[in-house]
Amino acid sequence: MGIGSGCSQRVVVALTGAPEGEHVLRRAAQIATPIGAELIGVYVREPSGLVEAEPAWLTSQRRLLGELSGHYTELAGIDVASALLDFARNENAHQMVLAQPTVPTPRTVARLGDQQGDPNAGPVEVHVIPARKPPVKDRRSG
């Protein structure tokens, strides 16, 4: 084992308003549990001086995170990818779990993937969880 074998491993999961948020949280827990890792849910909020009400989706994901024995952290940042990666590095997390974007803005995921090869990025393995396909509606006439 490496340095600080008594130290807890950490898995960081990005909390977003994506429809697949709960699925991504459950997958992150499936990654964290077998290795005894601490699960940390991170929400990156745009920095503003305004106090805003917590979105309903975030309340729901925070509740599920607690049920999965995870911990919640909120960050302020304009660049979501950098904020997530900086947090993961500062927490010595070796794994990060993200939802695959459903809109054509994979920039954050691509930037995180590009930084995996960056020697300054640290050894953070990024898991991109694809969206589950919606059930096919039965088109029988009836």
CATH number at residue 73: 3.40.50.620
Asked, for residue 28, whether it belongs to a domain, the answer is yes
Asked, for residue 5, whether it belongs to a domain, the answer is no
User: How far is it, in rounded angstroms, from Cα 17 to Cα 38?
Assistant: 22
Residue 96 structural domain: 10-47+54-129
The token pair that represents 69 in the structure block: 């024995």
Asked, for residue 135, whether it belongs to a domain, the answer is no
Percent of the chain with pLDDT over 90: 44
Domain tally, the chain: 1
Asked, for residue 24, whether it belongs to a domain, the answer is yes
Asked, for residue 123, whether it belongs to a domain, the answer is yes
pTM of the model: 0.76
User: How far is it, in rounded angstroms, from Cα 64 to Cα 19?
Assistant: 14
Q: Give the N- to C-terminal CA distance of the chain in Å, as an integer.
A: 63
- In this prediction, residue 6 has a pLDDT band, given cuts at 50, 70 and 90, of very low
> What would the pLDDT profile of 15-69 be if each residue is shown by its tens digit?
988 888 999 999 999 999 999 999 999 999 888 767 778 889 999 999 999 999 9
Q: Which residues of 74-105 are buried (b: 16+ CB within 10 A; e: fewer)?
A: eeeeeebbebbbebbeebebbbbbbbebeeee
Nearest-5° angle of CA 90, CA 19, CA 131? 85
Asked, for residue 3, whether it belongs to a domain, the answer is no
Asked, for residue 115, whether it belongs to a domain, the answer is yes
